[in-house]
Amino acid sequence: MSKYVPKQSELKQEFEKKKPALLKEDFSGKEWWDLPVEFRDGNWCFPGKPEVLEDLGFPNPRKWAATDADWQLPDGWEKTIKDGLKSRLKRFRSFKLFLDTCVRCGACADKCHFFLGTGDPKNMPVLRAELIRSVYRNDFPLAEKILKGFSGSRKLTAEVIKEWHMYFNQCTECRRCSVFCPMGIDTAEITMMARELLNLIGVNNNWILAPVSNCNRTGNHLGIEPHTFVQNIESLVEDIEDLTGIKVNPTFNRKGAEILFITPSGDVFGDPGVYTMMGYLLLFHHIGLDYTISTYASEGGNFGLFTSNEMMKKLNAKMYHEAERLGVKWILGGECGHMWRVVHQYMDTMNGPANFLEEPVSPITGTRFSNAASTKMVHVAEFTADLIHHNKLKLDPKRNDHLLTTFHDSCNVARGMGMFEEPRYVLKNVCNSFHEMAENTIREQTFCCGSGSGLNAEEFMDIRMRGGFPRASAVRQVQEKHKVNTLVTICAIDRASLPTLMKYWNPGVSVYGLHELVGNALVMKGEKKRTEDLRENPMAGFEEDED
């Protein structure tokens, strides 16, 4: 029986406690902290499994559920949280500033996709931050302590921990709110700190910690071992040969290759990521790139970002250790979201500068990527845009005529590193139909998919659909106006989560990686007549001859 089917005892409890009835409650005039926190199936993620926590050496491994009355918090958990908060306020000046400087202007309130999609006031970034700020104010700044009761401060209780767990897991760290904050407060960093604190007492999310543990052990989120990783890619190589007649030849762990290519492991095992992988393989073959793929640094994503600074640093270091071991000149990175946030914003001060690598130079065009002088890592969209700009690719955009596209800016790449034009430039060169979504839903104002930052768990589906509502609404507008049927994106989490979001809110819209469309459009030397795209769907105008 499905794990989602409620038990009879739960239903009985629901009848007794909740007493199904016509609507009577009136919450007007109540304070925000009086609104009850209620965990129900669909609005919480399964906690980390004990064995996962043991693997990672994380505290308080146990079996528990957010719906339990007693969360089995460890003895002295209040002190652990307070000490943890104190230590982080000291270590991260930004965190202290963000807690101190909010003037509650409310500019962020209606910018959060979770607030827009749920309507829940505690999802206003200002109020979400207040969940932790109210505790900070109660225990730390002296003046506020004296004015206790007037300053919105409150005691740290188990209920507060439950509230943190609910609402800091209804923030995808997308940073849309920070774009609009006049004080420059980055609520994502507050969420990161809150999640670190919760991890200290064993309040966590298995969909984040299991990939972290897997990555720690095998080098990728799903825990794929090296031989399976190779077999998956070889299987895609066979698919490419069947479709195009071209045999591409990726190499693995090859010392002395010029470039190490690292992409999210979703591109190697999941649908539709694998079609994006096929696009990369075709592209690299097309230009004769001297590259290798590592079976150890087999993951671009970094769920450490959603866990703790230390874990993020450790998982990021793996990529650079492998680049050094293989003796490559620089790293080319695939279509990923948070991998790029970590590389662009944190790598340099965590593990950099990577002086054992060279400043990236495209071996095909000679372009020097001075923006990657420190990280030595170039985004594949940037790399491909440069190839197209120098007329190095033979492309037939008509091969994508069955796809009427729009582009979803992935939060981490768009807001995190300011990459807006390169993917659009590539997209416009590989297809003939492209329509932008509304201006306030793209580029730096892009809406999150609703499932980022490790919240893509299936048991969290209800909240994900609500959090993704603003993005889905923007897609629906171009679907209705321009008959758009293809949502293109450059993030593995988007490729995993947006198909579900589209099927729920906007049936008829499919999700594609940018380089899948590149792979469709590439005219390969010696290829056979192409009639199908990389998904084996017929390409409009390229049908088989009837005879």
Binding site for another protein (CB under 8 A): 2, 4, 14, 18, 20-28, 30, 35-36, 38, 40, 42-43, 110, 115-122, 231-232, 235, 266, 268-272, 274, 458, 461-463, 465-466, 469-470, 473, 496, 499-500, 503-505
d(CA 316, CA 318): 5
> Which three-class secondary structure state does DSSP give residue 260?
strand
Q: How far is the CB of 278 from another protein (least distance, A)?
A: 12
Pick between residue 112 and residue 132 the one whose CB is nearest to another protein.
112
Q: What are phi and psi of 8, to 5 degrees?
A: -60, -35
Q: How far is the CB of 381 from another protein (least distance, A)?
A: 23
Q: Strand 330-333 vs strand 259-262: parallel, antiparallel, or unpaired? A: parallel
DSSP, residue by residue, 137-183:
HHHS-HHHHHTTTTS------HHHHHHHHHHTTS-----HHHHH-TT
Beta-carbon-side half-sphere exposure of residue 173 (alpha carbons within 13 Å): 25
**Strand runs labelled E in 397-458:** 405-408
Q: How far is the CB of 529 from another protein (least distance, A)?
A: 25
Structure tokens at 22: 């016509």
d(CA 192, CA 166): 14
Pick between residue 430 and residue 442 the one whose CB is nearest to another protein.
442
- Rg over alpha carbons for the chain, rounded to the nearest Å, is 24
CA 503-504-510 angle, 5° bins = 20
For 19-156, where are the alpha helices, taking DSSP H only? 50-56, 77-91, 93-101, 113-118, 125-139, 142-146
Q: How far is the CB of 269 from another protein (least distance, A)?
A: 5
Residue 487 CB partners (closer than 8 Å, separation 6+)? 405, 406, 407, 408, 475, 498, 502, 509, 510, 511, 512
Pick between residue 119 and residue 245 the one whose CB is nearest to another protein.
119
Pick between residue 284 and residue 460 the one whose CB is nearest to another protein.
460
Q: How far is the CB of 511 from another protein (least distance, A)?
A: 10
Q: 401 burial class (0-12, 13-18, 19+ CB within 10 angstroms)?
A: middle
Pick between residue 147 and residue 438 the one whose CB is nearest to another protein.
438
Pick between residue 228 and residue 432 the one whose CB is nearest to another protein.
228
Overall residue count recorded for the chain in this entry: 547
Q: How far is the CB of 50 from another protein (least distance, A)?
A: 23
Pick between residue 360 and residue 450 the one whose CB is nearest to another protein.
450
Q: How far is the CB of 213 from another protein (least distance, A)?
A: 17
Pick between residue 93 and residue 481 the one whose CB is nearest to another protein.
481
Q: How far is the CB of 134 from another protein (least distance, A)?
A: 18
Pick between residue 216 and residue 510 the one whose CB is nearest to another protein.
510
d(CA 109, CA 358): 44
CA separation (Å) from 80 to 135, 136, 547? 14, 14, 75
Q: How far is the CB of 434 from another protein (least distance, A)?
A: 25
Q: How far is the CB of 35 from another protein (least distance, A)?
A: 5
Check: CB of residue 448 under 8 Å from CB of residue 457.
no
Q: 233 burial class (0-12, 13-18, 19+ CB within 10 angstroms)?
A: buried
Pick between residue 16 and residue 545 the one whose CB is nearest to another protein.
16
Q: How far is the CB of 192 from another protein (least distance, A)?
A: 25
Q: Strand 330-333 vs strand 291-293: parallel, antiparallel, or unpaired? A: unpaired
Look at the alpha carbons of 326, 330, 335, 339 in this order and tell me if their dihedral is positive or negative: positive
Pick between residue 354 and residue 501 the one whose CB is nearest to another protein.
501
